[in-house]
């Protein structure tokens, strides 16, 4: 990696200036008045990728364009598709930023700007990683494709259909995603699995109108009490989800994974302290990290009904509502779990009440086998760059597009977070450590070389 290091050392100022130029573009995808800025960010990428010998295309979608770039060597070498996004979260509240969100500023070795870590900094590190290899070898050791979208921060509404419609174009052996954090600072981390999601809204209804709890208490069915009883019945006494069939298709944690999880830098006591809780409860028989990373869970995300104002109101509400979501693991599907959850809720509704279950949204989880060549190659490459053992992780988060890559392209998906949890993604004063930016370039080059040799 000496040569990539040299490439970086010789260009520190230029690398910072180029990323800063990217970050100055307020490509806020949710804000319609930034529509042109979003396109400028797409164009910026095209202008950076073309000089590196990439064939580029900007695909229109119903909202913001997809940037696609390809530099092919031959059919006999592996193909890696690097995915990222060039859109950013809204910067508000502006008054909490020390320096303006779209005026990138270095303080204490950290580059502050909206999108610095999520995801422009990580995307740009890969572009510069490719450039480092080209400068050293004049060519790349494998076929490289970039797929950089402008709608990630609004839920990637058009990317799933885009992938399905362009399976041949996007065909790849490995999909490399850098849009997140390493397990801890200076800790090489490969994330090989994420959870899916099934999210429903539940309405429980009793009488046709709100009732006086004195006049009707003891006779009227109470939707709040009923909903509470139903929610309570969603877990058993040892923290397992009690929805019949919920665990039927769950892929068990392998013995190898249990070993890997134990090696992860995770401290239960530290997490409990950080959250300000006495304990981290959950499903019996699993460690906290196993539950966070690899066991399906069910959480109420919201509840409401009756009188929530100041003071007291003696009412029996006619309706109560809850938002309930399940985080899924392979091979659970949102369709199946939503069906089972709905069937169960309809079966247990207390007498006198009715229930309506509304499907809000879902997404599949994704898992690349720990033992896959891509994961193993990536792990070794990272260990070499950092000079320490790579952490193999899963996460409870959901990136719906990940399963599209697996299903539509048949690719192994590898997540390499170049940022930190403390980067304040989505918050004021978002930042990206310059050390992690430069390291990310090194990581990118090392990953491409490793994939070329070992996959």
Active site residues: 87, 152
Q: Which of 7, 17, 5 is nearest to 106 (CA)?
A: 17
13 is an interface residue for a second copy by CB under 8 A = no
Closer Cβ to a second copy, 194 or 401, answer by number: 194
> Is residue 67 classed as helix, strand or coil in its secondary structure?
strand
Min CB(70)–a second copy separation in Å: 30
Give the number of other Cβ atoms within 10 Å of residue 63's Cβ. Answer: 16
The owner of tokens 């939707």 is: 223
Q: β-strand 110-112 against 412-415: which pairing, if any?
A: unpaired
Task: Report the residue from 136, 225, 331, 372 that binds a second copy according to the rule CB under 8 A.
Answer: 225
Min CB(294)–a second copy separation in Å: 9
- Would you say 149 and 156 are in contact if contact means Cβ atoms under 8 Å apart? yes
Closer Cβ to a second copy, 79 or 191, answer by number: 191
295 is an interface residue for a second copy by CB under 8 A = yes
Give the number of other Cβ atoms within 10 Å of residue 77's Cβ. Answer: 16
Q: Which of 97, 203, 151, 136 is nearest to 431 (CA)?
A: 97
Q: Which of 166, 189, 216 is nearest to 316 (CA)?
A: 216
247 is an interface residue for a second copy by CB under 8 A = no
Closer Cβ to a second copy, 430 or 449, answer by number: 430
Min CB(228)–a second copy separation in Å: 4
Window of 3-11, 40-48, 349-357, 371-379 that interacts with a second copy by CB under 8 A: 349-357
Site string for a second copy, 93-132 (x = CB under 8 A): ----------------------------------------
Give the number of other Cβ atoms within 10 Å of residue 64's Cβ. Answer: 25
Closer Cβ to a second copy, 11 or 195, answer by number: 195
**376: CB partners within 8 A, 6+ apart:** 454
- Would you say 334 and 362 are in contact if contact means Cβ atoms under 8 Å apart? yes
Which residues in the 359-388 window bind a second copy by CB under 8 A? Answer: 360-361
Closer Cβ to a second copy, 117 or 408, answer by number: 117
Number of residues that bind a second copy (CB under 8 A): 97
Min CB(422)–a second copy separation in Å: 10
| Alpha-carbon gap, residue 350 to 332, rounded angstroms | 28
> Is residue 398 classed as helix, strand or coil in its secondary structure?
coil
CA 134, 136, 138, 141 dihedral sign is: negative
Window of 41-49, 119-127, 302-310, 375-383 that interacts with a second copy by CB under 8 A: 302-310
Closer Cβ to a second copy, 77 or 154, answer by number: 154
77 is an interface residue for a second copy by CB under 8 A = no
Site string for a second copy, 249-288 (x = CB under 8 A): ----------------------x---xxxxxxxxx----x
Min CB(352)–a second copy separation in Å: 5
62 is an interface residue for a second copy by CB under 8 A = no
299 is an interface residue for a second copy by CB under 8 A = yes
Q: Which of 158, 112, 68 is nearest to 433 (CA)?
A: 112
Min CB(93)–a second copy separation in Å: 8
Site string for a second copy, 386-405 (x = CB under 8 A): ---------xxxx-------
Which residues in the 420-449 window bind a second copy by CB under 8 A? Answer: 421, 424-428
65 is an interface residue for a second copy by CB under 8 A = no
Structure tokens at 287: 């460690």
Min CB(268)–a second copy separation in Å: 8
Task: Report the residue from 184, 264, 303, 383 that binds a second copy according to the rule CB under 8 A.
Answer: 303
What is the DSSP-derived secondary structure letter of residue 389? Answer: P
Which residues in the 158-217 window bind a second copy by CB under 8 A? Answer: 181, 194-195, 197, 199, 201, 206-217
What is the DSSP-derived secondary structure letter of residue 53? Answer: T
| Alpha-carbon gap, residue 71 to 287, rounded angstroms | 44
306 is an interface residue for a second copy by CB under 8 A = yes
Window of 108-116, 137-145, 294-302, 384-392 that interacts with a second copy by CB under 8 A: 294-302
- Would you say 378 and 153 are in contact if contact means Cβ atoms under 8 Å apart? no
Window of 245-253, 301-309, 372-380, 402-410 that interacts with a second copy by CB under 8 A: 301-309
| Alpha-carbon gap, residue 188 to 182, rounded angstroms | 7
220 is an interface residue for a second copy by CB under 8 A = yes
Q: β-strand 110-112 against 105-107: which pairing, if any?
A: antiparallel
Q: Which of 181, 175, 143, 137 is nearest to 159 (CA)?
A: 175
CA 398, 402, 408, 410 dihedral sign is: negative
74 is an interface residue for a second copy by CB under 8 A = no
CA 401, 405, 406, 412 dihedral sign is: negative
The dihedral formed by the CA atoms of 449, 450, 453 and 455, expressed in degrees to the nearest 10: -130
Closer Cβ to a second copy, 38 or 381, answer by number: 38
Closer Cβ to a second copy, 116 or 445, answer by number: 116
């Amino acid at each position: 990696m000496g040569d990539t290091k040299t490439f970086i050392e010789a260009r520190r100022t230029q690398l910072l200036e180029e990323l800063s130029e990217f970050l100055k573009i307020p490509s806020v995808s949710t804000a319609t008045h930034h529509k042109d800025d979003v396109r400028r960010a797409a164009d910026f990428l095209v202008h950076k990728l073309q000089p590196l010998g990439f064939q580029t295309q900007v695909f229109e979608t119903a909202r913001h364009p997809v940037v696609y770039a390809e530099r092919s060597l031959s059919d006999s070498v592996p193909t890696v598709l690097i995915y990222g996004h060039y859109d950013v979260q809204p910067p508000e509240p502006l008054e909490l930023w020390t320096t303006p969100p779209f005026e990138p500023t270095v303080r204490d070795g950290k580059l502050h700007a909206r999108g610095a870590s999520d995801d422009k900094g990580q995307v740009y590190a890969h572009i510069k990683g490719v450039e480092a290899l080209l400068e050293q070898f004049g060519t790349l050791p494998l076929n490289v494709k970039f797929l950089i979208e402008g709608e990630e921060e609004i839920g990637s509404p058009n990317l799933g259909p885009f992938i399905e419609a362009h399976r041949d174009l996007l065909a790849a052996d490995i999909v490399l995603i850098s849009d997140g954090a390493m397990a801890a600072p200076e800790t090489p981390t490969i994330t090989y699995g994420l959870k899916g999601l099934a999210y429903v809204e539940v309405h429980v209804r009793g009488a046709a109108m709100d009732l006086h709890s004195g006049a009707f208490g003891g006779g009227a069915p109470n939707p709040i009490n009923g909903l509470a009883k139903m929610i309570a019945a969603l877990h058993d006494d040892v923290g397992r989800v009690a929805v019949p069939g919920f665990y039927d298709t769950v892929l068990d944690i392998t013995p190898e994974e249990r070993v890997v999880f134990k090696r992860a830098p995770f401290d239960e006591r530290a997490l409990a302290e950080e959250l300000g809780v006495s304990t981290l409860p959950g499903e019996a028989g699993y460690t906290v990290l196993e539950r966070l990373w690899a066991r399906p869970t069910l959480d109420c995300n919201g509840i409401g009904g009756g009188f929530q104002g100041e003071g007291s109101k003696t009412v029996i509400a006619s309706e109560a509502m809850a938002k309930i979501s399940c985080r899924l693991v392979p091979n659970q599907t949102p369709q199946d779990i939503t069906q089972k959850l709905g069937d169960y809720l309809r079966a247990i509704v207390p007498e006198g009440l009715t229930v309506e279950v509304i499907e809000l949204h879902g997404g599949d989880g994704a898992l690349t086998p720990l033992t896959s060549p891509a994961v193993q190659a990536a792990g070794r490459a990272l260990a070499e760059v950092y000079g320490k053992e790579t952490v193999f992780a899963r996460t409870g988060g959901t990136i719906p597009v990940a399963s599209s890559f697996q299903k539509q392209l048949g690719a192994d998906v590898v997540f390499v977070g170049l940022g930190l949890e403390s980067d304040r993604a989505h918050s004021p004063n978002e930042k990206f450590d310059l050390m992690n930016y430069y390291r990310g370039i090194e990581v990118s080059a090392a990953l491409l070389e490793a994939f070329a040799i070992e996959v």
